[in-house]
Amino acid sequence: MNTRALALDLLEKWEKTDQFLAQILDSCCKQKKLNEKDRAFLQELVYGVLRWRPWLDSVIKKSVKDPQKKMSSLIKNVLRLGIYQMVFLEKVPIYASINETLNLLRCRVKRGFVNAVLRNYDRSVGEYKLPSSEEGIPAKIKDYLSRECPKVDLTPVWESIQKKPLIYARWNPLTGTRDVLEAIWQQENRKYQCVNESQGIYHLEKIETNVETWPSFQKGLFTIQDVYASSVVSHLDVKEHHKVLDACAAPGGKSFQIATYLKNADQLVALDVSKKRLDNLKKAALRLKVDNIKLVEGDAKKHVFLEKFDRILLDVPCSNLGVLNRRLDVRFRFSQKQQNSLIGIQREILENMSSFVKQDGIMVYSTCTLSRKENQDQVRAFLKKNPNFFCSYQALNIPGHEKGDGGYVAILHRSS
Ligand SMILES: C[S@@+](CC[C@H](N)C(=O)[O-])C[C@H]1O[C@@H](n2cnc3c(N)ncnc32)[C@H](O)[C@@H]1O
């Protein structure tokens, strides 16, 4: 199995379709039945190339004879893969990076061109140095976030975006104690560190294999959830007797958390517009032994409930600008047009769902974006139109400044 050739195929496919990188990678690994080592190398190559693409492209431009001459997407991706390996993969010698890259091409003329560009680059660098974080991020994203967050020091944000994301596990109290979880991890030889004692959140370190294949994961002893995402549910202040609605629920990370606070069946309703995503939620619920969630497929912009809820969580679809280190697609596919459409959806979800909050009940609005328009502005407009609600707390989690992913949360109370 030539992993580099697979990486080239995936990069080409990603560019020519609107599929997410994670989806393409996952289905390729399953289809080709890749072992853990090949899977990890493939992921390193495709994620690495996309993470540093603007910088790789600037290097390519400087290393070709005629920067104005148009290059096919295939040749560009071959060059990106070559330079990525030369600069970032210390264990691969430079000559091997160049030779393996040339092996990706059959055509003699194309090989000659790629060979010349890579060797030009090698001659010009002298000593290999890693680029700065900022150089890896598309200008469009940097400009947009600079405008949206004028008071934030963005240097730590760029640094956090360019790092590989940390993986956090949340202990599942429904399948055993934390002692049981830790004992099994020790048997499995896992490296972990508890980062939140009260909620049982762990940073999983030095992960060498796909977490979903771990027996402890398959037994439902824990779930993967970012440390910031785990904190959002606490703002709902759920009590044992509450009736709760999670209105944008799939894939279910926050529903599973809420479910552990509630004792009886049907106290928690999980609504989502996507059947496919609800099916995934159902599968994960089985694994985690969560059996007190009522699933409803429907559109939160217009769905009508015959009952009211003590607590409603609106973890709305958003531009994902707070999770740029995990969702590499976003940095290339973000558009103002798509954002405007999301803002409309968020507004309608807020408006419709607010009518199902009981008097003195709480609705938590949350996103994983740093954009003011989807966060503070959205909440301000809602409160202006709905004076029977007030906001007791709002906060922006900024990656690089605070732990975990970026996101926004607002606690909205219904007073009458
Ligand atoms: C940010 S994700 C929610 C993540 C989830 N709360 C969790 O913690 O796992 C947003 C979800 O909203 C759903 N969604 C998008 N538009 C919707 C709508 N109009 N009504 C209900 N759900 C919607 C998407 O299918 C997606 O599953």
Q: Which parts of 229-355 are beta strand (E)?
A: 244-246, 268-272, 293-297, 309-315
Q: What pLDDT score does 68 carry?
A: 82
- Ligand 1 lined by 358 (C-beta under 6 Å): no
What pLDDT score does 127 carry?
Answer: 78
**ipTM of this model?**
0.99
75 CA from centroid of ligand 1 (Å): 38
Pair 103, 250 in one domain: no
pLDDT in tens, 95-131: 999 999 999 998 888 999 999 999 999 998 877 789 9
Determine whether the shortest distance from the Cβ of 275 to ligand 1 is under 6 A: no
What's the 248 CA to ligand 1 centre distance in angstroms? 4
Share of the chain residues as helix, strand and coil, in percent rounded to the nearest 5: 50, 15, 35
Is the separation of the CB atoms in 281 and 270 below 8 Å? yes
Same domain flag for 110 and 246: no
Which atom, in ligand 1's list, is nearest to the CA of 300? 20
DSSP E strands in 76-199: the ranges are 167-171, 191-196
Q: Rounded to whole angstroms, how far apart are CA atoms 172 and 176?
A: 7
235 and 118 co-located in one domain: no
Residue nearest to atom 11 of ligand 1 (CA): 248
**Which residue ranges in the chain fall short of pLDDT 70?**
none
* 224, part of any domain: no
**CATH number for 117:** 1.10.940.10
**126 and 243 assigned to the same domain:** no
Strand order in the sheet with 167-171: 191-196, 201-205, 167-171, 222-224
pLDDT value for 36: 87
- Last residue in a domain, options 131, 155, 186: 131
**Shared domain check, 110 and 237:** no
Longest dimension (CA), the chain: 75
**Contacts of 179 by beta carbon, 8 Å cutoff, 6+ apart:** none
- pLDDT at residue number 221: 96
Taking the CA of residue 277 as reference, the ligand 1 atom at the shortest distance is: 27
Beta carbon of 120 within 6 Å of any ligand 1 atom: no
Which pLDDT does position 402 carry in this prediction?
A: 95
Q: Quick check: CB of 301 below 6 Å from ligand 1?
A: yes
**Measured from the CB, is residue 344 less than 6 Å from ligand 1?**
no
Sign, CA torsion 108/113/117/120: positive
Report the domain count for the chain.
2
In-domain check, residue 223: no
Give residue 237's pLDDT: 97
| Residue 367 structural domain | 231-414
* Domain end position, chosen among 131, 156, 173: 131
CATH of the domain at 377: 3.40.50.150
Q: Is 328 in the pocket of ligand 1 (CB under 6 A)?
A: no
CA of 296 to the centre of ligand 1 (A): 12
Domain boundary among 131, 146, 176: 131
> Do residue 268 and residue 387 come from a single domain?
yes
pLDDT value, residue 89: 94
| Ligand 1 pocket member 178 (CB < 6 A) | no
Does 154 map to a domain?
no
- Using alpha carbons, list the distances in angstroms from residue 188 to 192, 200, 219, 367: 11, 19, 13, 35
Q: Token pair for residue 19?
A: 């599929």
pLDDT for residue 209: 81
> Shortest CA distance to 406 belongs to which of 380, 365, 368?
368
